[in-house]
Amino acid sequence: MKATELLELRPQGLWCPPAGAFIDPVRPVDRAIVTHGHGDHCRPGSRALLATPETVAIAEARYGRTAFAATQAIPAGRPMRLGDATITLVPAGHVLGSAQVVVEAGGARAVVSGDYKRAADPTCAPFEPVPCDLFVTEATFGLPVFRHPPVQDEIARLLASVRAQPERCHAIGAYALGKAQRMIAELRRAGWDRTIYLHGALVGLCTVYGRLGIPLGPLETVRGQGAELKGEIVLGPPSALNDRWARRLPDPVICAASGWMRVRQRAKQRGVELPLVVSDHADWDELTATITETGAQTVWVTHGAEEALCLWCADQGLDARPLALAGRGEEEAM
């Protein structure tokens, strides 16, 4: 069997014929293998959900226990027979529970990366490269202008700004799943042990992280604390920080934690005063290094700047093509 026969693109998403299942389908299907809990990969309504135990817990927290008729949790690294294929979930390093889907059948192996990064993250297991014939990679930051700085440097800039402006509060726009918890964990590593204040939309997932064994330290929901929040750090969804919600904060410095903050026009358009270049996606160097490491001869490139990465692959003598998956990249676009 050829590796390219292990996967095919259908309107519902990436179909795996030997396993009889879709990977990260965009519409409800009978059987969905899901790489991680972000809304553009994990959608409610499929009959059966197959994912890591953490992703199942996150999906249930987001969509409720009745969103899927049946759920099956497979721990990372444990192979499972599904139809004529063997499916293994391997850590992707993107957010808690995130996994690559390794599909093996007829002597061929394909790996669907989902979203991934190679930088260390205290809130999830690190990416493990898997040698394969076909590698389906994301390319959110698939341009050589994207090279993410070390997260410690960005946290240090944030803390320096907090020290320099003690009469203001720092409000960080961060996606509710993954980015928020990573920022909190990195702040803790940098020695910030004060209470961190949360927008209500972030509370549920922080609780799930805590239950799954990721310590986040003292957290509190933003209510009417007003001036008490001077000198403190607040996290909220990016959309809330440029809107009425932010008015309850004392003279906030609006910060955003995202890989897009690398481009200053983007930061300026969004009215961000302190851009923090922190991403949960692989940057250009990580993308190209990972493709090389898998040894795959065929590379399919999804959501983002496919063109540049396909060009790079072709230059390396790899067979690469863009895979037009609908509705991806929504968490980073915010």
8 Å CB contact between 204 and 237:
no
Quick one: 52 or 225, whose CB is closer to another protein?
A: 225
The neighbour count for residue 194, using CB atoms within 10 Å, is: 12
To another protein, the closest distance from the beta carbon of 221 in angstroms equals 20
Among 275, 282, 300, 329, binds another protein (CB under 8 A): 275
Say which residues have a Cβ less than 8 Å from residue 122's Cβ, sequence separation at least 6.
182, 185, 186, 189, 214
Q: Would you count residue 305 as binding another protein (CB under 8 A)? A: yes
Residue choice 272, 278, 296, 299 for contact with another protein (CB under 8 A): 272
Candidates 65, 227, 244, 317: give the one binding another protein (CB under 8 A).
Answer: 244
DSSP at 230: T
Spatial distance between the Cα atoms of 17 and 21, rounded to a whole number of angstroms: 7
Measure CA of the first residue to CA of the last residue in the chain; give whole Å: 41
Q: How far apart are CA 138 and CA 127, in angstroms?
A: 14
DSSP single-letter state for residue 322: E
Q: Compute how many residues bind another protein; rule: CB under 8 A.
A: 29
**Does 260 help bind another protein (rule: CB under 8 A)?**
no
Q: Which stretch binds another protein (CB under 8 A): 174-182, 194-202, 229-237, 265-273?
A: 265-273
Restricted to residues 178-207, the positions that interact with another protein (CB under 8 A) are none
Q: Least Å distance between CB 38 and another protein?
A: 22
Between 103 and 240, whose beta carbon lies closer to another protein? 240
Give the tokens for residue 44.
């409610």
One character per residue 113-152, x = contact with another protein (rule: CB under 8 A) = ------------------------------xxxxx-----
Q: Which is nearer to another protein, 74 or 254 (CB)?
A: 254
Residue 303, CA distances (Å) to 56, 67, 126, 143, 226 in order = 23, 26, 22, 12, 41
* 243 touching another protein, by CB under 8 A: yes
Q: Which is nearer to another protein, 229 or 246 (CB)?
A: 246
| Residue among 31, 38, 170, 262 that touches another protein (CB under 8 A) | 262
Residues contacting residue 131 through CB under 8 Å, at least 6 positions apart? 109, 294, 295
Residues 6 or more apart whose Cβ sits within 8 Å of residue 17? 5, 6, 8
Applying CB under 8 A, which residues contact another protein? 143-147, 165, 242-244, 246-247, 254, 262-265, 267-268, 271-275, 305, 307-308, 311-312, 315
